[in-house]
């Protein structure tokens, strides 16, 4: 039974088609919380529009255990927005973010809590030494992504990290004030500042099911991260346009020289070379500009980040209360 209106700890877990993991996740997270803070915790499970039995399992856990809060979204919003919904609902003095696939061990919670106390830190983030069960291609691209991102941004984002981290309430309050639609939460937390320190660990294989981040989603995630934290691609587009302008001018001078000197102008090959070089450069520049304009367009509509269909909390079982169901049409 929760002992305070603001528990010492909240564990926030977004779930999308995680029916095979939820029972084990609930058991291990519950054990980790009890070992760290006793009975003063809550587990916030967010159903991100799952198509399997994830939602009824979350509902059942929420109705049976007063420590579990079920956040049921109106549809699939994506991992980062589902996580944002849980972070708005949770009430803990400290907040642990962990995915539902159990690749990040909940048992590290005690070490994170102790490290936060000892170092007087506001954020303890998990930094991966090993990534078990992942292909060499995914490990390589993930490594290159973080290093590229750090070379493009002024905000230094720790390499080989995910969203697995323990945060103080004041860090979370600042994070919840940020209105970005395209969210890269690990970068946003780094941008906030305060004292942030790593805890190194080995990442495990998924307990069950398949990854929710295929190549297409990874690329979209990478674009959101880069465009959300750097304007260097826009500057690069400017430089590229300048380079292609010089190339075009050189070809123009060559064409004019050939005309006035009576030299036969190289025909189709030369023309297509110029068209392809300049055309591809223009399309690339327009694509970069369009990506930023698209973000501005989406942000300007000021739509809610997510829509919560229902929040399910168990009532006071000792008093014979029924589980409560809170509804929210929108949340920012």
* pLDDT score at 152: 65
Q: Whole-model pTM?
A: 0.69
User: Residue 213 and residue 54: Cα distance in Å, rounded?
Assistant: 18
Angle at 111 between CA 107 and CA 115, to 5 degrees: 155
Mean pLDDT of the chain: 78
pLDDT > 70? residue 138: no
DSSP 3-state of 76: coil
* pLDDT score at 114: 93
H-helix segments, the chain: 22-37, 54-64, 79-89, 109-119, 136-152, 169-176, 185-192, 215-229, 232-261, 268-300
DSSP 3-state of 80: helix
User: Residue 74 and residue 265: Cα distance in Å, rounded?
Assistant: 63
Q: Token pair of 287, please?
A: 């694509």
pLDDT bucket at 243, cuts 50 / 70 / 90: confident
User: Residue 319 and residue 317: Cα distance in Å, rounded?
Assistant: 5
Name beta bridge partners: 316.
none
Q: How far apart are the first and last CA of the chain?
A: 29
Q: What is the 3-state secondary structure (H, E, C) of 185-238?
A: HHHHHHHHCCCEEEEEEEECCCCCCCCCCCHHHHHHHHHHHHHHHCCHHHHHHH
Residues 331 and 308: beta-carbon distance below 8 Å: yes
Average pLDDT score over residue span 135-150: 66
Q: Mind listing the pLDDT tens digit for each residue in 54-99?
A: 999 999 999 889 999 999 998 888 888 999 999 999 999 999 999 9
* pLDDT score at 324: 46
User: 135 Cβ partners below 8 Å, 6+ apart?
Assistant: none
Q: Mind listing the pLDDT tens digit for each residue in 89-114?
A: 999 999 999 998 888 899 999 999 99
Report the share of the chain in percent with pLDDT over 90. 31
Report the share of the chain in percent with pLDDT over 70. 59
Average pLDDT score over residue span 313-319: 53
Residues 230 and 222: beta-carbon distance below 8 Å: no
């Amino acid at each position: 039974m929760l002992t305070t209106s603001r528990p010492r700890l909240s564990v926030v877990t977004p779930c999308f088609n995680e029916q095979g993991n939820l029972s084990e996740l609930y058991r291990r997270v519950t054990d980790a919380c009890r070992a760290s803070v006793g009975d003063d915790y809550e587990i916030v499970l967010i159903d991100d529009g799952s198509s399997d039995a994830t939602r009824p399992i979350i509902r059942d856990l929420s109705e049976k255990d007063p420590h579990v809060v079920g956040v049921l979204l109106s549809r699939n919003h994506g991992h980062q927005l589902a996580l944002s919904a849980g972070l708005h609902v949770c009430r803990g003095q400290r907040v642990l973010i962990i995915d539902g696939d159990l690749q990040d061990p909940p048992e590290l919670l005690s070490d994170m809590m102790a490290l936060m106390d000892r170092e007087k830190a506001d954020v303890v983030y998990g930094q991966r030494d090993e990534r078990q069960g992942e292909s060499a291609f995914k490990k390589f691209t993930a490594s290159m992504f973080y290093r590229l991102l750090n070379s493009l941004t002024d905000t230094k984002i720790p390499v080989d990290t995910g969203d697995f981290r323990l945060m103080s309430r004041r860090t979370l309050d600042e994070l919840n004030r940020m209105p970005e639609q395209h969210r890269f939460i690990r970068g946003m937390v780094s941008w906030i500042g305060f004292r942030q320190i790593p805890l190194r660990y080995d990442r495990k294989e998924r307990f069950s099911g398949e990854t929710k981040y295929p190549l297409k989603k990874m690329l979209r995630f990478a674009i959101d991260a880069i465009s959300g934290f750097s304007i260097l691609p826009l500057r690069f587009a400017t430089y590229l346009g300048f380079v292609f302008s010089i190339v075009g001018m050189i070809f123009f001078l060559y064409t004019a020289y050939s005309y006035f000197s009576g030299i036969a102008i190289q025909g189709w090959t030369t023309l297509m070379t110029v068209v392809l070089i300049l055309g591809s450069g223009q399309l690339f520049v327009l694509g970069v500009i369009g990506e930023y304009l698209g973000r501005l367009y989406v942000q300007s509509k000021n739509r809610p980040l997510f829509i919560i269909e229902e929040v399910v909390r168990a009532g006071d079982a000792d008093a014979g209360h029924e589980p409560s169901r809170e509804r929210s049409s929108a949340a920012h």
